[in-house]
Amino acid sequence: MLENLKLSDSYDGFLFLAEAARNPPVLRSHRHVELELNLVVQGTITYVVRGKRFTFGKRTLLWMFPAQEHQLVDRSSDAQYYVAVFKPDLIQAACRSNQYEDLKRSNWKGVDGVLNTMLGPAAFDLVTRTMDTMMVGALDSDLLNREAGFGVASAFSFEHGDPDALNAGLRHLLLLCWRYQLAGGASDAAVALHPAVLKALRVLGEGDWDGGLAGLARHCGVSEDYLSRVFARQMGVSLGRYRNSVRLGRFLELCRQPGHKTMLEAAYGAGFGSYAQFYKVFVQAYGTGPGATMKRRG
């Protein structure tokens, strides 16, 4: 799925700090014309790319190139990670010497997955301080997290109080991080996924499955017990937890749509079997009840 990040001509990209405790789980597989850079500040995040699972911890710098379909499938409850994207025009203008030529690619040569490297403590400190500085003048972090930076199922579009400073910072950030990537080298700690797991991820991530786990397993061509075991072993998270994460993301999307569904209507619309089940899952994910959290999200 080609995602429109809805960036106006005033911006060469965007940057925001995603936090699992505030950021809705957007778990559909997607790509975009912009180059994406993530830096894990705390906790872990997990992606699936080209049929493989990749889990990244603190100080990991990772890149998603424009041709790479990628799917965020899980995050630790304490996960915090910067997300930066760079428009093709910025890359073309900034990358003039040979050492930056590969940033112009639609995919990274020689890596069948996610290009990444672990930053040393000094490099990590410098990059995070650079990103922190670039956030001065940004929209409220609650708002950016609620909209996943670019606006999920809404008319929201990214803004910043000083576009020129942000654009200059993005250019510097891109070149700085690429130099660290080249110096650190690539790592590829991937887990190849069973076809049934990939099919379950696709079906649940697209939000077009409202049946039970037994029916999902039959749809994937395996037994329910087998699918549950292999999914948990390969993904590091249970099938039930993943399905609930997808439902939470759908719940938050429904609450933002015109018409303002009640939380009860949105919970059922997202696929939860009861309000009690929804409430329990919500508290586990966000630490507070939906009433207080949704009021804070405004």
Residue 215 has pLDDT above 80, yes or no: yes
Dist. CA 26–CA 147, nearest whole Å: 10
pLDDT of residue 292: 65
d(CA 278, CA 250): 12
Angle ∠(201,268,76) on CA atoms, nearest 5: 45
Residue 224 has pLDDT above 70, yes or no: yes
Strand 60-64, strand 35-42: pairing: antiparallel
- Sequence-ordered alpha helix ranges (H) in the chain: 88-94, 121-134, 141-146, 163-184, 195-205, 213-220, 224-235, 239-256, 263-269, 275-286, 290-297
Give the whole-number percent of the chain exceeding pLDDT 90: 56
- One-letter amino acid at 187 equals S
State the Cα–Cα distance between residues 112 and 195, nearest whole angstrom. Answer: 17
What pLDDT, on the 0 to 100 scale, is given for residue 18?
95
Residue in this structure with the two tokens 């203008």, named with its chain if needed: 93
Give residue 207's pLDDT. 66
Domain range list for the chain: 13-191, 194-297
DSSP letter for each residue of 85-99: EE-HHHHHHH--SGG
Given a contact cutoff of 8 angstroms between Cβ atoms, the answer to whether 43 and 77 are in contact is yes
Q: Helix or strand or coil: residue 119?
A: coil
Residue 190 is predicted with a pLDDT of 84
- Looking at residue 148, its pLDDT comes to 85
Same CATH topology for 13-191 and 194-297? no
- Compute the radius of gyration of the chain from its Cα atoms: 19
pLDDT score recorded for residue 95: 97
CATH class of 194-297: mainly alpha
Amino acid sitting at position 238? S
What residue ranges in 20-58 does DSSP mark as E strands? 35-42, 45-49, 52-56
The residue ranking higher by pLDDT, 211 or 281, is 281
Question: How far is it, in rounded angstroms, from Cα 255 to Cα 263?
Answer: 7
C-alpha 48, offset from chain centre: 11
Query: How far is residue 177's CA from residue 142's CA, in Å, rounded to a whole number?
Result: 26
CB-based contacts of 244, cutoff 8 Å, min separation 6 = 281, 285
Q: Which of 30-44, 188-202, 228-242 has the highest mean pLDDT?
A: 30-44
Q: What would the pLDDT profile of 80-127 be if each residue is shown by its tens digit?
A: 999 999 999 999 999 999 999 999 999 887 667 899 999 999 999 999
Question: What is the C-alpha separation between 142 and 84, in angstroms, rounded?
Answer: 17
Architecture of domain 13-191 in CATH?
A: Sandwich (2.60)
Higher-confidence position of 248 and 65: 65
Please tell me which residue, 60 or 112, carries the higher pLDDT value.
Answer: 60
